[in-house]
Structure 1
Amino acid sequence: MNQHNAEWIACLIRDGFSDYRDQFQAITRQARSSFESADWHALQSLSVQRIDLYKIMVDRVSQQLSAVGHKLSPSWGWIKACYLELMVDREDAELGETFYNSVYCRLLSHREISNQHMFLYSHNKHCEASSVDNICRVYRLRDGLVACLSQLMDDYQFDIPWENKRRDIRNLLRYIRQNLSEDMVVDKVVIHVVRSIFYRNKAAYIVGRASIDDYSVPFILPVLNNESGALYIDTVLTNENEVSIIFSFTRAYFLVEVDAPAPFIHFLHSLIPMKSIAELYNAIGFYKQGKAEFYRDYIEHLASSTDQFEIAPGTKGMVMTVFTLPSYPVVFKVIKDRFASSKQITRAGVIDKYQLVKRHDRAGRMADTQEFINLTLPLKRFLADLLAELHRVASSSIEIVGEQMVIKHLWTERRMIPLNIYLDEMLRQNNEQAVYLAINEFGQCIKELAAANIFAGDMLFKNFGVTRHGRVVFYDYDEIMYLTDCHFRYIPEPLYPEQEMAAEPWYSVSENDVFPEEFSLLTACDRRIRKVFNELHGNLLEPRWWLNIQARVSQGAIIDLFPYHKDHRFRRKVVNKVAE
């Protein structure tokens, strides 16, 4: 292959990437008008469009190259060198490298993975070169805190007015005086606020930090639409854990305009350093870049660690086998060759469920995942019992090549403490408060998923995890379905006692039938758990509750699900007219 052909292919991939970025930005820019018009369905649609866009564009470029591939006999080392030159002046070069990798892997079926032919390691240096002033507006307190807050609200003015600007400023002042140190309201404080607004679900978020010397406080201002043509600031979040939850791996991706992603991510990381770079790319919608950053970080971690892959703690699943590396907070999930007889699902069906979760609003209650094809890991790092398990239950998904284990298809997911293990430990310690909070979270998780049109299906404790923030999250997706597809039923009364004692139900059960009264089996294991569950969420055992929420969702209701506690919300006296 000659140099001209290499340049032609590099330009074709570059043009496909540029088209992808233009469409990505165009979709993102529509979020503002959807938010202002309170068109929540449109916002959800934009999020799905943006997720689907990446595969559409990679497929298009791959098909173009496949059509002429037999004439070109490409040398990917040359193509990569040409492509690298085309990316030199782009502010989103790291995204371009990942797009190139996706095309390369699509054409070569995820084989021949090497840095010579693709970007296993990034060449992007924009993060170090860009100033924070290009990302943020800068405010100082020379004219006082009230003037500063007023100016900030003016700078982030929408095309619809503030409901009551003075009230919002008073609420902010009251919060600052009650919760922040007096050092944070002196002349020397510098406030950086991200120029772009973050949209998700029914809220817009203004994100920034207040700094003095080497100390800084992150903050987020959630802005809500009263659906009558005006906006208000609902609260302010300044605790790092609260800020971290806003950017959680359990929530849908933000719609936020970003021209230069690397410095943008660098600033966000300064606000919440506990979040990995990969998680932050995911949070703003660049989930393929998040996957690339995760892979690079993981490979570095493998090189600097010595522990071995092991079977993940918890009850073994009937559809997935799960393993982990103890020193890294991630699990690897591989589909089994055969499922338990009680599981009425196919391998293709499992893949569809994981894609559903990727595209759906996760409502803060389902973990995001990353899908890998032909992931290669060092064979010597696998414990013998894990190797035996993989050979026994997932042999079609693995291949040993020399000293490497090739896993043909898997998903990665943030590791959490399985809820059943967590509850057992808390009961053993007689920690009634922890049990109470966990069971409350469990019920809230189920209810919030229902509000987002998701029925978890298998709701045993083993299918839920506890995050480091104490939130309960669902992570076993092989039985999830849309709530609107369920048929919630009451259990019919038995005609005679023998029916009730029979091993099989005395009533007919059709596909998608759900009997909430049977959920009591979840808590039959321990009276303390049962008591707490019935006290807090006993209505989940009543078909009436499910039918009511199903009716609301079926009618198109987008139910409020905000990523902070309702007690944090400012008191808001509704006014009859807009006040400035």
Structure 2
Amino acid sequence: MSKKVSERIAREVLKHFVTYRMLFKLITDMAQQRFEQEQWLEIQQAASDRIDLYEQQLQKTIDSIACIVGANACEKLLWNEIKVSYIGLVCQRNDSELAETFYNSVYCKVCKHRQLTDENIFVHSLVAEHEVLSRHAIYRSYSVEQGLVGLIGEVLDDCGFDVPWENKKRDVVNLTRYILQHMPLEFDAGRMVSVDVIRSVFYRNKGAYIVGRISFVGGDIPFVIPVLNHNKRVYVDTAISNQDQVSIIFSFTRAYFMVNVDAPSEFVSFLHSLIPSKSVGELYTSIGFYKQGKEEFVRDFIDHLGCSKDSFVIAPGIKGMVMTVFTLPSYPVVFKIIKDKFSSSKRVTRSIVHERYQLVKRHDRVGRMADTQEFTNLILPRARITDELLEELRKVAPSSLVVEEEAVTIKHLWTERRMTPLNIYLEKVLANDDSSAIFHAINEYGKAIKQLAAANIFAGDMLFKNFGVTRHARVVFYDYDEIMYLTECNFRKIPAAMYPEQEMAAEPWYSVAPNDVFPEEFTILTACNVKVRKIFNELHGDLLDVKFWKEMQEQVSSGEVVDIFPYRQIQRFTR
């Protein structure tokens, strides 16, 4: 292959990457207008459309390469030469790490994940870690010398909303009161150095978020100021300065933010300084660069394998009927593989499961569904896989495995943040008779089901084993093989039996269509324990009533987008 062809392919990859970035920015830049005009349904559609952009541009790149060199591009092209040419094209870009990842995606698609070496792809990024080229462009700095009230007013003005504040004076008072209540010693002692606020406002669903930090001699305090819109007038809803609560706002269970990011590595570096508990990969994902998040995850995972010694094992909990799940105890992730054969009670196929995981990726997760990353041909060291796990994989998913002496290749899987299965969590707190934890878990479980319903998702199989408890004690749904849109369900009341023998029969005495749902049957979900059943019935007994579900269907069908914010109702300011 001539050098000219290598350079042409490199330019073709870059051309489609630039188009991807342009379209991504176009959708993102409209976030402020959608928020200000209260275009809630359009916001959800835009989020979905933006996720689709990557694969669309990737496929166009593949098609372009095929037009240039024909079939078998992997064999015909010298990718090490293409990579050298590509480096020269992207090394000065302020989003070069994204450009590297796009190149990797192209190579993997063309070469079917073969020969994944640094010679052919960017196994290691050439972007220096934590490189900061223009930090001043990421955020504005404010001094407290002008007084706290003046500082807060200036921060709100700099958001640049094109609609008026509902009552700016009230919002300034609320924020001033919050700061003095939560950080009185720092301000009384005059220890504050500055306030740094990210120039770009973060948009997601029905909220806009001002993100920054307060810097003191003794350290930094992150903060998030949620701004809402009512009748095209904006107002400050609350302030969050607890690092765990700030982390929840950037959770893997929520939709990706729309935020203007010119230099991603610098932007993520600043975010990481605010929320060090979040990995770099999670932060890239949270602002919409989910492929970069996946790339950062892979690099971190490889590094972790190099400095750890534990083995991959079957994940704790009840085994699933559709997926088999394993984990590395020292790493906070589970790996999920579709089984070759499903239980006879499951009316799904491999393609349906895949579609439902894609649905979750593109849908508003409202803080109640875990995000996933999809992998093809993931290679794991054979020595780190227990015999028990390998035997299980060979038994339930042999078509997904390639077992060699040194490595095990899994042809297709998803990764997901590891959580404690709700059934295991409840067993523990019930054994300890921890009434507060039991109450909280069951309340969270019911709220998760209701909030998913408000987002037009019916969880389907709502057994405790299909929900997890996060480190923040939030209950999250993570088993997607039976989910469907709420509006597609037919909620019915079980008809009365005509005579006693019907109730005793093994089969129901009434017809049941594929999408029929009988909420009365949900009583089986809490039949495990009298205390659990009592709490559930008191807090969420309406989930057993057809009326609740039909009303929720009507609400969703009418186009109403329910307010589900990543903080508690009690934290909201008085208006």
TM range (shorter): over 0.9
CA distance, structure 2, for counterparts of residue 32 and residue 25 of structure 1: 12
Q: Percent identity?
A: 56
The 8 Å contact of residues 191 and 217 in structure 2, kept in 1 or not, is answered as: no
Task: List per-residue Cα deviations over 1:383-428 (Å, max 9, x = no partner).
Answer: 0110000000000001013411000000000000000000001111
One-letter code aligned to 1:220: V
Give the SS at the match of 1:44. helix
CA distance, structure 2, for counterparts of residue 523 and residue 79 of structure 1: 59
Of 364, 373, 376, the match for 1:373:
376
CA distance, structure 2, for counterparts of residue 45 and residue 110 of structure 1: 32
CA distance, structure 1, for counterparts of residue 573 and residue 192 of structure 2: 28
**Residue of structure 2 equivalent to 1:577:** none
**Residue of structure 2 equivalent to 1:331:** 334
Of 200, 207, 218, the match for 2:204:
200
**Residue of structure 2 equivalent to 1:522:** 525
**Residue of structure 1 equivalent to 2:354:** 351
**Residue of structure 2 equivalent to 1:307:** 310
**Residue of structure 2 equivalent to 1:103:** 106
Of 440, 449, 454, the match for 1:437:
440
Of 144, 152, 155, the match for 2:147:
144
Give the SS at the match of 1:142. helix
**Residue of structure 1 equivalent to 2:243:** 240
One-letter code aligned to 1:547: K
The 8 Å contact of residues 192 and 214 in structure 2, kept in 1 or not, is answered as: no
CA distance, structure 1, for counterparts of residue 24 and residue 260 of structure 2: 9
**Residue of structure 2 equivalent to 1:53:** 53
Task: List per-residue Cα deviations over 1:462-496 (Å, max 9, x = no partner).
Answer: 00000000000000000000000000000111111
CA distance, structure 2, for counterparts of residue 184 and residue 281 of structure 1: 33
Of 65, 77, 82, the match for 2:80:
77
User: Displacement, 1:131?
Assistant: 4.1
Written as runs of structure 1 = structure 2, the 5 A alignment for 1:3-152 is: 3-70=3-70, 73-125=76-128, 127-152=130-155
The 8 Å contact of residues 317 and 424 in structure 2, kept in 1 or not, is answered as: yes
**Residue of structure 2 equivalent to 1:260:** 263
User: Displacement, 1:112?
Assistant: 1.9
Count, aligned residues: 571
The 8 Å contact of residues 454 and 481 in structure 1, kept in 2 or not, is answered as: yes
Give the SS at the match of 1:115. coil
The 8 Å contact of residues 456 and 479 in structure 1, kept in 2 or not, is answered as: yes
CA distance, structure 2, for counterparts of residue 232 and residue 499 of structure 1: 59
**Residue of structure 2 equivalent to 1:575:** none
User: Displacement, 1:100?
Assistant: 0.2
User: Displacement, 1:175?
Assistant: 1.0
**Residue of structure 1 equivalent to 2:497:** 494
**Residue of structure 2 equivalent to 1:212:** 216
User: Displacement, 1:109?
Assistant: 1.5
One-letter code aligned to 1:224: L
CA distance, structure 2, for counterparts of residue 85 and residue 353 of structure 1: 40
User: Displacement, 1:212?
Assistant: 1.1
Give the SS at the match of 1:121. coil
Task: List per-residue Cα deviations over 1:263-312 (Å, max 9, x = no partner).
Answer: 10000001110000010000000000000000000000001000000000
The 8 Å contact of residues 309 and 382 in structure 1, kept in 2 or not, is answered as: yes
1:511 partnered with 2:514: yes
One-letter code aligned to 1:426: V
User: Displacement, 1:115?
Assistant: 1.3
**Residue of structure 2 equivalent to 1:182:** 185
One-letter code aligned to 2:40: W
CA distance, structure 2, for counterparts of residue 128 and residue 289 of structure 1: 16
Of 321, 343, 362, the match for 2:324:
321
The 8 Å contact of residues 461 and 482 in structure 2, kept in 1 or not, is answered as: yes
CA distance, structure 1, for counterparts of residue 476 and residue 570 of structure 2: 21
One-letter code aligned to 1:461: F
The 8 Å contact of residues 66 and 107 in structure 1, kept in 2 or not, is answered as: no
**Residue of structure 1 equivalent to 2:402:** 399
TM-align CA RMSD: 1.1
CA distance, structure 2, for counterparts of residue 60 and residue 488 of structure 1: 43
CA distance, structure 1, for counterparts of residue 340 and residue 67 of structure 2: 35
CA distance, structure 2, for counterparts of residue 13 and residue 190 of structure 1: 43
**Residue of structure 1 equivalent to 2:363:** 360
**Residue of structure 2 equivalent to 1:473:** 476
User: Displacement, 1:187?
Assistant: 6.7
Task: List per-residue Cα deviations over 1:204-223 (Å, max 9, x = no partner).
Answer: 00000000124111100000
Of 530, 542, 554, the match for 1:539:
542
One-letter code aligned to 2:199: R
User: Displacement, 1:23?
Assistant: 0.7
More moved, 132-141 vs 87-96: 132-141
One-letter code aligned to 1:105: C
**Residue of structure 2 equivalent to 1:576:** none
The 8 Å contact of residues 191 and 216 in structure 2, kept in 1 or not, is answered as: no
Give the SS at the match of 2:438. helix
Give the SS at the match of 1:129. coil
CA distance, structure 1, for counterparts of residue 174 and residue 550 of structure 2: 39
Task: List per-residue Cα deviations over 1:433-477 (Å, max 9, x = no partner).
Answer: 101000000000000000000000000000000000000000000
Give the SS at the match of 1:256. coil
CA distance, structure 1, for counterparts of residue 356 and residue 404 of structure 2: 30
The 8 Å contact of residues 374 and 406 in structure 1, kept in 2 or not, is answered as: yes
Task: List per-residue Cα deviations over 1:495-519 (Å, max 9, x = no partner).
Answer: 1111112222111100100000000
The 8 Å contact of residues 180 and 187 in structure 2, kept in 1 or not, is answered as: no
Q: Which 5+ residue runs of structure 1 have no aligned equivalent?
A: 573-580
Of 541, 554, 557, the match for 1:554:
557
Give the SS at the match of 2:145. coil
**Residue of structure 2 equivalent to 1:564:** 567
One-letter code aligned to 1:200: R
Give the SS at the match of 1:120. coil
More moved, 525-534 vs 171-180: 171-180
Change (3 A) 1:160 1:76: same
One-letter code aligned to 1:299: I
The 8 Å contact of residues 142 and 187 in structure 1, kept in 2 or not, is answered as: no
More moved, 113-122 vs 181-190: 181-190
User: Displacement, 1:553?
Assistant: 0.1
Task: List per-residue Cα deviations over 1:45-98 (Å, max 9, x = no partner).
Answer: 111111000000000001111223248721000001110111111000000000
Change (3 A) 1:173 1:97: same
Change (3 A) 1:393 1:187: closer
The 8 Å contact of residues 361 and 372 in structure 2, kept in 1 or not, is answered as: yes
| TM-score normalised per structure 2 | 0.98
Task: List per-residue Cα deviations over 1:226-273 (Å, max 9, x = no partner).
Answer: 0x1210000000001110000000000000010000010000001110
The 8 Å contact of residues 448 and 477 in structure 2, kept in 1 or not, is answered as: yes
One-letter code aligned to 1:210: I
Give the SS at the match of 1:362. coil
More moved, 454-463 vs 106-115: 106-115
CA distance, structure 2, for counterparts of residue 564 and residue 156 of structure 1: 21
1:162 partnered with 2:162: no
One-letter code aligned to 1:133: H
CA distance, structure 2, for counterparts of residue 553 and residue 188 of structure 1: 47
One-letter code aligned to 2:357: Y
Task: List per-residue Cα deviations over 1:296-342 (Å, max 9, x = no partner).
Answer: 00000001000000000000000000000000000000000000000
